[in-house]
Amino acid sequence: MTSTQRHHVVLVSPNGEPQGIAEKLEAHQQGWLHMAFSVMLFRCNANGEREYLLQRRAADKYHSGGLWTNTCCSHPKQDEPIAAAAKRRLYEELGIARPLNFMMGPWFEYRAELGNGLIEHELDQVIACEVNRVDMILNPDEVEDCRWWLESEVRQAVAESPERFTAWFEQVLTRIHAMVELPTASQI
Q: Which residues pair with 12 in a beta bridge?
A: 18
To the question of whether residue 80 is assigned a binding role by annotation, the answer is: no
To the question of whether residue 28 is assigned a binding role by annotation, the answer is: yes
Separation of alpha carbons 150 and 156, rounded Å? 10
To the question of whether residue 120 is assigned a binding role by annotation, the answer is: yes
The answer to whether the beta carbons of residues 166 and 57 sit under 8 Å apart is: yes
Spatial CA neighbour of 83 closest among 183, 148, 4, 74: 74
Separation of alpha carbons 127 and 70, rounded Å? 10
To the question of whether residue 109 is assigned a binding role by annotation, the answer is: no
Active site residues per annotation? 73, 122
To the question of whether residue 144 is assigned a binding role by annotation, the answer is: no
CB atoms within 10 A of CB 182: 8
Separation of alpha carbons 34 and 23, rounded Å? 11
To the question of whether residue 17 is assigned a binding role by annotation, the answer is: no
Annotated binding site for Mg(2+): 93
Annotated binding site: 28, 34, 75, 93, 120, 122
Annotated binding site for Mn(2+): 28, 34, 75, 120, 122
